[in-house]
Amino acid sequence: MAPRVLISDALSPAAVQIFKDRGIEVDFQPALGKDKDKLAAIIGDYDGLAIRSATKVTPKIIEQAKNLKVIGRAGIGVDNVDIPAATAKGIIVMNTPFGNSITTAEHAITLMLALAREIPQADASTQAGKWEKNRFMGVEITGKTLGVIGCGNIGSIVADRAHGLKMKVIAFDPFLSPERAIALGVEKVELPELFRRADFITLHTPLTEKTKNIVSAEALATTKKGVRIVNCARGGLVDEAALRAALDSGQVAGAAFDVFTEEPATSNVLFGHPNVICTPHLGASTSEAQENVALQVAEQMSDYLLQGAISNAVNFPSITAEEAPRLKPMVELAEKLGSFAGQLTETGLTKVQIVYEGEVAKMNTKALTSAAIAGLLRPMLQDVNFVSAPVMAKERGIVVEEVTREHEGDFESLITVAVETERRTRSVSGTVFADGRPRIVNIKGIRMDAEFGKSMLYVTNDDAPGFIGRFASLLGEAGINIATFALGRDAPGGNAIALVEIDGEVPGAVLDKVGALPNVQQARALRF
């Protein structure tokens, strides 16, 4: 059956066409995002949800999203999606990190120029027939200092455009490297210096605990008198009440805001001030940007739903369309090895090490590690998936270590999952042969060659004559059919392992009898 996608915001219709062309069923309901009850009522029918900023994807919506596999944000900020809730449910959340950056940077520059020359105020006055030529006295941009807070994609485009306007650009961004600052031609400064020196300030960070009210009352008190402030990033970066007070006192000469703490902003403390310019979150609103983000999100979501390729996900590593088919058997192997180790783990897990050797070491090991951890944790936690597994391991204090090595042993590719608990370390290795089927090739240093069956018996014993006969007879007497039988041992008379695929389940009583056979150390039933 074709996957179904719901578009619940005003995306460019270009997205609809892409989904259709890719063979995906699509429902375009551009106003639905504002009706959260209706969205919650129908979301269960869809595999994908494409949104802009009006749809709020809350835990309640996610709870109802029984089939949802991917949420695609046609834009940058994903603060309208509850990422932890989506992650816990295995839903990939992806955005389009570059599609609207130029447009948004241009909006910031437009607002800065509009502030410098009071364009909206002069326009309103002129069209009202007032011809107030002496009322509007602007400031020149040339030679002025622009302080950029957050010099990522958009901030750096703003810096570039500001250079074209002959401004000096200083930037505060803890993650901006000195080399990148030089390449961008910006002077990297600390925040207090930016406040002290800037004639104009423009914000381009996400809203986080650290950036909330980054322009606070205290900060405003340290700015140049007559500074002008532009916010095209997120409401809440500037303390709006403090800014209003600073505008009233003349400390701030003007402010231009595209984003607000409460959106849609139908009232706001900044509204009505003569030196304030506002737009209704229009940063990304150009036909070019909307076309870009709609096309991109539709392609990305289709790639995921149809091929398992992942790009620009905020909660999972990327997997290209080319590598997805190659990765698939390795993902299955990693998950099954994790599951094998997880089913044998009884006490507190402290660490898992996943070693990739040979060809597999060149693949997307992050995705494979997620699969291995999901397999490992699933016997202990019901609701774990590839997306949520790394977060769940971290929350439980389990150290995850990934090691990659060049080709060493007999296999083209080898994955080893080694698990440390409070009591012991256990390791299992596997590979995928040319038939594409995953196999176990080593358990605790003992060589094996066993396929993963649906239902298996794992028996460890002292290597001694008679075990195999007794074991096989016991299963036969209990009416249990053996499908495959793999054996391994570390040395004659040493430790031996039997890994047996059986048809159907092993009753607990039979398992106990196997465990009680002479020389048997342990007997466990495994399911894959």
Ligand X SMILES: NC(=O)C1=CN([C@@H]2O[C@H](COP(=O)(O)OP(=O)(O)OC[C@H]3O[C@@H](n4cnc5c(N)ncnc54)[C@H](O)[C@@H]3O)[C@@H](O)[C@H]2O)C=CC1
In the complex, the residues that contact ligand AKG under the rule CB under 6 A are: 52-53, 75-77, 100, 281, 283-285
Other beta carbons less than 10 A from residue 86's beta carbon: 26
233 versus 502: smaller Cβ distance to ligand AKG: 233
Query: Is 281 considered catalytic here?
Result: yes
Whether the Cβ atoms of residue 72 and residue 302 lie closer than 8 Å to each other: no
List, in order, residues 6 or more apart from 398 with CB less than 8 Å away: 349, 350, 351, 352
Quickly list DSSP for 272-296.
T-TTEEE-SS-TT-SHHHHHHHHHH
Beta-carbon count within 10 A of 170 CB:
23
Residue 274 in the binding site for ligand X (CB under 6 A): no
- Is residue 80 within the footprint of ligand X (CB under 6 A)? no
From ligand AKG, ligand X, none, interface partner of 101 (C-beta below 5 to 8 A by class) = ligand X
Give CA–CA dist 52/55, Å, rounded.
7
Residues contacting residue 263 through CB under 8 Å, at least 6 positions apart: 53, 235, 281
Does 48 participate in binding ligand X (rule CB under 6 A)? no
Give the strands of the sheet with 455-462, arranged side by side: 482-489, 495-502, 455-462, 520-527
Q: Which is nearer to ligand X, 235 or 430 (CB)?
A: 235
CB nearer ligand X, residue 208 or residue 522: 208
CB of 165 to ligand AKG, least distance (A): 24
Shortest distance, CB of residue 70 to ligand X, whole angstroms?
20
Q: How many residues does the chain have?
A: 528
**Residue 276 binding ligand X, by CB under 6 A:** no
CB crowding 188-220: b at 16 or more within 10 Å, else e: bbebeebbebbbbbbbbbebeeebebbbeeebb
Q: Where are the alpha helices (DSSP H) in 378-501?
A: 389-395, 467-477
Check binding of 104 to ligand X (CB under 6 A): yes
- Give the interface segment with ligand X, choosing from 151-159, 329-337, 441-449, 519-527 (CB under 6 A): 151-159
Q: Is 163 a catalytic residue?
A: no
Backbone angles phi, psi at 13, to 5 degrees: -60, -15
Q: CB neighbours of 113 closer than 8 A, spacing ≥ 6?
A: 119, 141
Closest approach of ligand X to the CB of residue 317, in Å? 17
82 binds ligand X (CB under 6 A): no
Residue 438 binds: one of ligand AKG, ligand X, none (C-beta under 5 to 8 A by kind): none
Q: Is 154 in the site for ligand X (CB under 6 A)?
A: yes
Residue 155, binding choice from ligand X, ligand AKG, none, Cβ under 5 to 8 Å by partner class: ligand X
Does residue 357 touch ligand X according to CB under 6 A? no
Question: Is the Cβ–Cβ distance between 228 and 253 less than 8 Å?
Answer: yes
Query: Of the candidates 8, 12, 96, 100, which one interacts with ligand X according to CB under 6 A?
Result: 100
Active site residue 234: yes
Q: How far is the CB of 9 from ligand X (least distance, A)?
A: 13
Choose between 276 and 360: whose C-beta lies nearer to ligand X.
Answer: 276
Instruction: Please state the closest distance from residue 512 (CB atom) to ligand X, in A.
Output: 58
Contact 360, 409 (CB under 8 A): no
* Positions in the binding site for ligand X (CB under 6 A): 75-77, 97, 100-101, 104, 149-155, 172-175, 204-206, 210-211, 232-234, 258-259, 281, 283-284
Active-site residues: which are they? 234, 263, 281
